Amino acid sequence: MLSASQLADRLAHDAEAVCRHYLSAGHRAGNYWVVGDVANSKGRSLYVHLSGHRRGRWTDAATSEYGDLLDLVRETCGLVDFRDVAEEARRFLNEPHSDPVSSRRDNTLGSQPVDRPAGERARRLFRMTQPLSGTLADSYLRQRGILRASLHAALRFHPSCYYRDLASGRTSSYPALIAAVTDQAGATTGVHRTWLDPDGDGKARVDDPRRALGGLLGNAVRFRFPVHGPIPVMVAGEGLESMLSLSHVMPGMPTVSALTANHLAAFRPPTGCLRLYVAADADAAGRHGIEGLSRRAQALGILPLVLTPELGDFNEDLRRLGPDRLIANLRAQLAPEDASALFPA
């Protein structure tokens, strides 16, 4: 039986046939196959290399997702278990592929095209999780100074989350902290996974222990967001743990983690927002996110205000300086009415 890396290599050998089959809404442009996203939408955000040493590798410029053709099969088919991904890949490789359009799929699965929303696999994964309280993920966050993470519905735990090394193709599974990415209506559009060391020693010892999946653009992981009503004041920033640290010391403040600087710049503030605090990270990418979101907020008539940590990020402040010092630093940067509401004397 072929291994994951062998399956990926076989798929890459017929990269254009794979793209025509699973991404039939796209088209060839030079040495690339171009399409909207892994849901086979029309557009130009996702591109697949069709030749050269990167043949079969793909990147979605809008979501920052990337991978090989085995990942592409998984995403387009909405699969979770690797066994199902491998079975689908083997089925494809065993079929003739002379047709430029995926008519065979229509014949086997019905006359109507298969509807696979971009976030369906992410939603399926989130449904497979369990509550955070008392789990390894809860312990991991407590070690990071975040003591009440289990109160957030956006955070869950998966005891054995599938992981594939993109360089070698080797597959494994690790316990993982799973965070739901949602839109303004509260619908789950994606997930963020943090794979953890099974012995409780921080993150799993893999090359990239954090990955996002699904529709991130404009959306975020949300903490303390009311279900209904306006949100006049809120905080937005990048990293999950950094924003959880702010939520820990400002439990009354709606807070979001956009996960990356690019997605922070593209975050859509809720209707009725008057002041938007943008949590800074001390790097060039962080500045890009701050500037992009600040311009977006100003265009919507929202006042952007920047919150700056003393050290590298707010989780580092929480762990190394302590909650009292972090609160004092925040109090000095908040508008007076927000400081009084969050930290009454």
Neighbour count for residue 235 (Cβ, 10 Å): 26
For helices 69-77 and 82-93, what crossing angle results, to 10°?
110
* C-alpha atoms less than 13 angstroms from C-alpha of 21 in its C-beta half-sphere: 23
Average pLDDT, the chain: 87
| Rounded-to-integer distance, Cα 171 and Cα 152, Å | 30
Long-range contacts of 337-344 (CB under 8 A, 24+ apart): 338/233, 338/253, 338/275, 341/252, 342/250, 342/252, 342/253
> Smallest Cα–Cα separation from 342: which of 192, 239, 243, 233?
233
- Does pLDDT of 98 surpass 60? no
Give how far Cα 90 sits from Cα of 10, 86, 140, Å.
10, 6, 38
Q: What's residue 100's pLDDT? A: 39
**Taking residues 110-130, what's their average pLDDT?**
67
pTM of the model: 0.69
Q: Which residue has the higher pLDDT, 345 or 22?
A: 22
**Taking residues 171-191, what's their average pLDDT?**
93
The strand pairing partners of 306, in sequence order, are 278
| Rounded-to-integer distance, Cα 98 and Cα 8, Å | 20
Query: Tell me: the pLDDT tens digits for 244-291?
Result: 999 999 999 999 999 988 889 889 999 899 999 999 876 655 677 888
Contact 94, 14 (CB under 8 A): no
Percent of the chain with pLDDT over 90: 59
> Smallest Cα–Cα separation from 190: which of 132, 247, 133, 117?
117
Q: Which residue has the higher pLDDT, 228 or 271?
A: 271
- Does pLDDT of 106 surpass 70? no
* C-alpha triplet 333, 338, 341: angle, nearest 5°: 130
